[in-house]
Amino acid sequence: MGADALTLSFRNRELAYLILVGVLTAVGFASVYIARKSHVSAASLTYAIFFFVLYLAAHVVARFTVPSADPYLLPLAGLLTAIGLTEIYRLGPANAFKQGLWVVIGVAVFAAALIFLRQDYRLLENYKYLFGLGAIGLLFMPLLPGIGQTVNGSRLWIHFGGLQFQPGELGKIALIVFLAAYLREKREVLAQGRVKDWGPLLVIWGGAMLVLFATDDLGGALLYYGIFLAILYAATARLQFVLVFIVLFLVGSAAVYQGTPHVRERVVNWIQPWTTHKVHCALNGQMTLRQDCASYQEVQSLYSIAHGGYAGTGLGSGLFTTAQGHPLIPYLSTDFIYSALAQELGLIGVSALLLIYMVFVLRGFRVSLAANDGFSKLLAAGLTFGFALQTFVIVGGILRVIPLTGITLPFVSYGGSSVIANFLVVAGLMLVSDRANR
Amino acid sequence: MNKQLNRLALVAVLMLVALIVATTYWQAWAAGSLAAKQDNAVELVSQFQVARGLIFASNGKTVLAADRRVKRNGQSFYFRRYPSHGLAAQTLGYSTSALSQTGLELSLNDFLTGSTTNLSNAIQRTLDRLGGGTVYGDNVTLTIDAGAQALAQQLLGNRCGAVVAMNPHTGAIYVMASSPTYDPNLIDKPGGYSKVLKTTGTCGGSSALLNRATDGLFTPGSTFKMVTAAAALDSGAFTPTSHFVDPGYCEEYGKKVYNAGNPDQNGPESYGGVTLAQGFEHSINSVFCNVGKQIGAKTILEYARKFGFYATPPLETPANQRVPSGLYKNNKLWFPKDPVTEVDPGRLAFGQFTMVATPLQMLLVGATIANGGVVPRPYIVKRVIGHDGSVISRTRPTTLGRAIKPQTASELTQMMISVVQGGTGTHAQIPGIQVAGKTGTAETGLNHVYTAWFVAFAPAENPQVAIAVVLEKQLNGFGGAVSAPIAKAVLQKLLHR
């Protein structure tokens, strides 16, 4: 009886929070509309309604499939999506329309995942090697022009011709499922140090290194490897394993640093983005200051952030183009959306944004802690830690905490594969949470 | 396993905390230093979101600088236009879409962008910005008289030179014209800047961008006799009636320095017995050569310093567009350690040697005599008015101190009246108004090519306007013949006669 009252109140709470998010979304779009009414139409406000209806649909699915799941995750994801959608809309209304479509697909995938796995998601454990192979396949997909084309040309994406898809985002989810399942099974033997069980893990290490080397995707490599170490530590409780793998990573990274000019450039830009003397510019072959060439994007992004100050310029009033209308920062609505938000929302606004991420992460770990079995715990922890690490890698890169690598900011950046992958993260956490609370 | 999970959660939270700390660093701590970076494109663009303040001539109607609004991506940007097409171009300067700035556009930038305001304005500006409204800069009214300025520019034509005029009591600049000049609207147009650079006027190889009134150094020639005479009278060594014999030359270091080399002098080559006042009236070099020899270079330079030489004259234009006057050595301002041995006092006395002066400095000499011996502090910004009509700042006239006694000033005035009445400056006579002036015709090193000066003020008994005119590289052009008529016309315009 008591449980019934509790479950009811969980979903009702979720609904209440979602309504709040819906109101905030409306305020956000209204504020963009007011600031830019000469440029955008009042019809933009329908985005808020459309968006609210989508999340309401997700809520209804959750109500029937995972009634006991954590009530905060979906509204928090909704809030982050809304912030992203508002900013994407402000930067380019056409992109917001596409992003809206991706959210539709994301909600559909979310619903499908909940519906298919509502009985027992733990059967995924049985297909762990499939997930492992799938992860590697997805990670390497961009390298293979044939497969890459097949993906882009597959029926699902034909409708949205101009949209790009990063298979690595889904590869990340597959990797987490594989690691959670494999390490749950082998954690004891691994902790005892049986060498042959290390095989698959060394394959993963080699894979991450290869991806890093072959695609120059430093951010991706950092992310996958970080997730791997987190799950390895959670499963074995052996800090020394983590340290060994960190050393291996550093050795590999040093080799890559020597071998790939792209990675070296990122590190140099990180250490010294401003030069007072002219250095060789690879873009035009001339001698220029580094801030005018290689580190231009990083430096201008920092200027954008600094311009926001404490209170920001206000949604819709930020400066992202030259007076002639040319964009100041490339990839603003994808990798660099944080610097756009920082300018318009200011320190107060983006600190709040980061706190939203923090609440989401804490809820995720709470789900992991409350789970009853090893696979569930590792799955929830892996999904959550991956979410936090991805935020850290991109925002930390923008803020010069670490070298900059281009990956998306979860839920906020413009990009379809990212949206779908993040909805899968929420679905996974809600499935685990529902089971634990049942 | 929960212990590890708690630790992982801690790591995740710490990562996010690090991001908040880093964001705080960039947005609060480092924001100021980033905003000051040269390559900060965001700050550069944000300057164009401010509707830059207008710049008016002293009548408050003639617009020297205005804004052109451009809408892009739903945001308004404001670019400069100059409706008066180059009236006081070098003084006004320009502000381009690449934010290259000169002149008052550079030095008054904080006012024009509304950055220097009182508290209530600052709050209003913040509210405007947050509300997405336009931020307006402050409007500036100059002391420039639009009519006289245009006339001076027109009279200079394509000759190289400058005309500066001021109120000798307050220091308010009425005219600051430099020629050749340019249309600041051109600067931002494709190919416009190089076109401006090619504008050299009749003197050749000279830039239209240079503000000759404050940044051009010219040999003052006989106009420097005002300083020498002031030193001679004020120090008590001579009176206007002191007697001299002019044999047509002056003897220095055992050599004869002939008056014949002085193109400014009128009348006979040798005047014989004359007074100091007559020597001034006819610009006789031998008289001043002897004055110089007697009072010495040190005294002359000390008086020059009192008139403002050896210091960059104060004005609201950027400091790098103004230069100090004085003796120069190797293109550097030079004050001799031992004037007795290092300076030829005779040649210094009639404004040759290595003495160079800006038109503004020679104007200050004339204005000081008109002002009873007190050097007025020149200014060109009359007032700054906020967009809401509130007064941000209003210039109060001050002085740079006393240079000579009132008695000396009135004696010099009489001598300068004689110059216009019957001496070298008769072309400056205005019917019904007593004009006091001094001519100057300095050698340039080229045969028969002179720097022609005229410094004057009027009405002599109650001076309202002081003026300095210089024309460069005038072939057989004497100060009294080519510069005095310009001074006369501009004086008439300013005195409404």
Residue A11 is encoded by which pair of tokens?
């979903």
d(CA A94, CA A40): 11
Q: In the beta sheet, which residues pair with residue B436?
A: B457
Amino acid A24 reads L
Q: In the beta sheet, which residues pair with residue B176?
A: B164
| B 123-182 → A contacts, CB under 8 A | 129-132
Chain B residues whose beta carbon lies within 8 Å of the beta carbon of residue A381: 5, 8
Strands B436-443 and B449-458: antiparallel
Domain count within chain B: 2
pTM beyond 0.80: no
Choose the mutation target among A357, A361, A399, A432 for the interface with B, i.e. most B CBs under 10 Å. A399
pLDDT surpassing 90 at residue B448: no
Q: Look at A342 and B23 and tell me if their CB atoms are within 8 Å.
A: yes
B16 vs A302, A354, A365: nearest CB: A354
d(CA B216, CA B149): 18
Q: Look at B15 and A396 and tell me if their CB atoms are within 8 Å.
A: yes
Query: In CATH, what number is assigned to the domain containing residue B56?
Result: 3.90.1310.10
Residue B365 is encoded by which pair of tokens?
């000499």
B34 vs A306, A357, A401: nearest CB: A306
d(CA B78, CA A219): 41
d(CA A354, CA B379): 53
Quote the distance between the C-alpha of residue B280 and its chain's center. Answer: 26
Chain B residues whose beta carbon lies within 8 Å of the beta carbon of residue A313: 129-130
Q: Look at A369 and B5 and tell me if their CB atoms are within 8 Å.
A: yes
Min Cα–Cα distance to chain A from B124, Å: 15
CB-based contact (8 Å) between B410 and chain A? no
Min Cα–Cα distance to chain B from A306, Å: 5
Domain that holds residue A264: 2-269+327-437
Chain A residues whose beta carbon lies within 8 Å of the beta carbon of residue B70: 323
The reply to whether B179 falls in a domain is yes
Catalytic option among B107, B222, B242, B283 = B222
Chain B residues whose beta carbon lies within 8 Å of the beta carbon of residue A291: 37, 39
CB-based contact (8 Å) between B77 and chain A? yes
Q: What pLDDT was estimated at residue B342?
A: 87
Q: Look at B24 and A351 and tell me if their CB atoms are within 8 Å.
A: yes
Check: CB of residue B188 under 8 Å from CB of residue B97: yes
Q: Look at B27 and A346 and tell me if their CB atoms are within 8 Å.
A: yes
Residue B26 is encoded by which pair of tokens?
């960039």
DSSP summary character for residue A408: P
Q: How many CB atoms lie within 10 A of CB A203?
A: 12
Check: CB of residue B419 under 8 Å from CB of residue B444: no
The reply to whether B32 falls in a domain is no
Q: Which residues contact B86 (CB under 8 A, 6 or more apart)?
A: B153, B181, B182, B183, B184, B185
The reply to whether B395 falls in a domain is no
Residue A430 is encoded by which pair of tokens?
């809600």
Q: Which of B109, B142, B175 is the last residue of a domain?
A: B142
The reply to whether A306 falls in a domain is no
Domain that holds residue B225: 146-378+401-494
Chain A residues whose beta carbon lies within 8 Å of the beta carbon of residue B19: 354, 391-392, 395-396, 399, 401
Q: What pLDDT was estimated at residue A4?
A: 54
Q: Are residues B299 and B229 in the same domain?
A: yes
* Crossing angle (nearest 10°) for helices A128-140 and A199-215: 20
pLDDT surpassing 50 at residue B177: yes
Min Cα–Cα distance to chain A from B122, Å: 15
Q: What pLDDT was estimated at residue A160?
A: 37
Tell me the C-alpha to C-alpha distance, in Å, between residue A257 and each of A63, A69, A212, A404, A407.
50, 44, 10, 14, 19
Q: Which of B142, B170, B205 is the last residue of a domain?
A: B142
B27 vs A36, A299, A306: nearest CB: A306
- The question of whether B270 is a catalytic residue gets the answer no
Q: What percent of chain B has pLDDT over 70?
A: 95
Give burial (CB, 10 Å; 0-12/13-18/19+) of B376: buried
Residue B476 is encoded by which pair of tokens?
């057989």
Q: Are residues B405 and B457 in the same domain?
A: yes
Q: Determine the average pLDDT of the residues in B175-184.
A: 94
Amino acid B87 reads L
The reply to whether B4 falls in a domain is no
Q: Look at A38 and B20 and tell me if their CB atoms are within 8 Å.
A: no
Q: Report residue B121's pLDDT band, with 50, 70 and 90 as the boundaries.
A: low
CB-based contact (8 Å) between B19 and chain A? yes
Query: In CATH, what number is assigned to the domain containing residue B214?
Result: 3.40.710.10
| B 49-68 → A contacts, CB under 8 A | 49
User: Number of residue pairs across A and B with CB atoms under 8 Å?
Assistant: 177
Q: Which residues contact A208 (CB under 8 A, 6 or more apart)?
A: A221, A224, A225, A228, A249
Q: What are the pLDDT tens digits along chain A (438 aa)?
A: 445 555 568 899 999 999 999 998 888 888 888 777 766 677 777 888 888 899 999 999 999 999 999 999 999 999 999 999 999 988 888 888 888 888 999 999 999 999 999 888 999 999 988 998 888 787 777 666 544 433 322 222 223 344 556 777 888 899 899 999 998 988 888 877 777 777 777 776 677 667 656 666 777 778 888 998 999 999 988 888 889 888 988 887 788 777 777 778 888 889 899 988 888 887 788 888 888 888 888 999 999 999 998 988 888 888 888 777 778 888 888 889 999 999 999 999 999 999 999 999 999 999 999 999 999 999 999 999 999 999 999 999 999 999 888 788 999 998 888 899 999 999 999 999 999 988
Q: How many CB atoms lie within 10 A of CB A424?
A: 23
Task: Look over chain B and give the mean of its residue pLDDT values, rounded to a whole number.
Answer: 90
Q: Are residues B111 and B162 in the same domain?
A: no
What is the 3 state secondary structure string of chain B? CHHHHHHHHHHHHHHHHHHHHHHHHHHHHCHHHHHCCCCCHHHHHHHCCEECCCEECCCCCCEEEEEEEEEECCEEEEEEECCCCCCCHHHHCCECCCCCECHHHHHCHHHHCCCCCCHHHHHHHHHHHHCCCCEECCEEEECCCHHHHHHHHHHHCCCCEEEEEECCCCCEEEEEEEECCCCHHHCCCCCHHHHHHCCCCCCCCCCCCCCHHHHCCECCHHHHHHHHHHHHHHCCCCCCCCEEEECCEEEECCEEEEHHHCCCCCCCCCCEEEEHHHHHHCCCHHHHHHHHHHHHHHHHHHHHHHCCCCCCCCCCCCHHHCCCCEEEECCEECCCCCHHHHCCHHHHHCCCCCEEECHHHHHHHHHHHHCCCEEECCECEEEEECCCCCEEEECCCCEEEECCCHHHHHHHHHHHHHHHHHCCCHHHCECCECCEEEEEEEECCCCCEEEEEEEEEECCCCCCEEEEEEEEEEECCCHHHHHHHHHHHHHHHHCCC
The reply to whether A390 falls in a domain is yes
Q: Are residues B374 and B280 in the same domain?
A: yes
CB-based contact (8 Å) between B190 and chain A? no
B351-355, B380-384, B405-409: least confident range: B351-355
CB-based contact (8 Å) between B446 and chain A? no
Q: Are residues B211 and B73 in the same domain?
A: no
Residue B330 is encoded by which pair of tokens?
């190797």
Q: How many CB atoms lie within 10 A of CB B120?
A: 11
Min Cα–Cα distance to chain A from B75, Å: 7
Q: Determine the average pLDDT of the residues in B287-301.
A: 93
Q: Look at B27 and A305 and tell me if their CB atoms are within 8 Å.
A: yes
Residue A233 is encoded by which pair of tokens?
């530590």
CB-based contact (8 Å) between B48 and chain A? yes
The reply to whether B386 falls in a domain is no
Cβ burial B86-109 (10 Å sphere, 16+ → b, else e): bbbbbbbbbbbbeeebbbbbbbbb
Q: Are residues B188 and B223 in the same domain?
A: yes
What is the 3 state secondary structure string of A275-339? CCCCEECCCCCCEECHHHCCCHHHHHHHHHHHHHCCCCCCCCCCCCECCCCCECCCCCCCCCHHH
Domain count within chain A: 1
Q: What are phi and psi of A89, to 5 degrees?
A: -60, -45
Q: Determine the average pLDDT of the residues in B459-468.
A: 96
Chain B residues whose beta carbon lies within 8 Å of the beta carbon of residue A306: 26-27, 30-31, 34-35, 42
| Rg for chain A, CA atoms, rounded | 22
Q: How many CB atoms lie within 10 A of CB B472?
A: 23
Q: Look at A319 and B49 and tell me if their CB atoms are within 8 Å.
A: yes
Q: Look at A299 and B39 and tell me if their CB atoms are within 8 Å.
A: yes
d(CA A298, CA A280): 18
Chain length of chain B:
497
Q: Are residues B334 and B365 in the same domain?
A: yes
User: Which of A30-39, B79-88, B199-208, B483-492 reaches the highest mean pLDDT?
Assistant: B483-492
Q: What pLDDT was estimated at residue A213?
A: 64
* Crossing angle (nearest 10°) for helices B2-24 and A218-236: 150
Q: How many CB atoms lie within 10 A of CB A64?
A: 12
The reply to whether B255 falls in a domain is yes
Min Cα–Cα distance to chain B from A232, Å: 10
Q: Report residue B323's pLDDT band, with 50, 70 and 90 as the boundaries.
A: very high
Q: Are residues B370 and B477 in the same domain?
A: yes
Q: Are residues B169 and B263 in the same domain?
A: yes
Q: Look at B13 and A368 and tell me if their CB atoms are within 8 Å.
A: no
Q: Which of B142, B176, B199 is the last residue of a domain?
A: B142
pLDDT tens column, B191-248? 888 888 888 777 776 689 999 999 999 999 999 999 999 999 999 999 999 999 988 8
Tell me the C-alpha to C-alpha distance, in Å, between residue B193 and each of A270, B86, B208.
38, 14, 11
The reply to whether B182 falls in a domain is yes
Q: How many CB atoms lie within 10 A of CB B265?
A: 26
Q: What pLDDT was estimated at residue A242?
A: 87
- Asked whether the ipTM of the predicted complex exceeds the cut of 0.85, the reply is yes
Q: In the beta sheet, which residues pair with residue B63?
A: B56
Choose the mutation target among B3, B4, B17 for the interface with A, i.e. most A CBs under 10 Å. B4
Q: Are residues B348 and B456 in the same domain?
A: yes
Q: Are residues B275 and B331 in the same domain?
A: yes
Q: Look at B19 and A396 and tell me if their CB atoms are within 8 Å.
A: yes
Q: Are residues B56 and B162 in the same domain?
A: no
Check: CB of residue A88 under 8 Å from CB of residue A97: no
Check: CB of residue B303 under 8 Å from CB of residue B234: yes
Tell me the C-alpha to C-alpha distance, in Å, between residue A180 and each of A122, A374, A391, A436, B429.
11, 8, 21, 17, 103
The reply to whether B10 falls in a domain is no
- Helix, strand, coil shares of chain A, percent, nearest 5, are 75, 0, 25
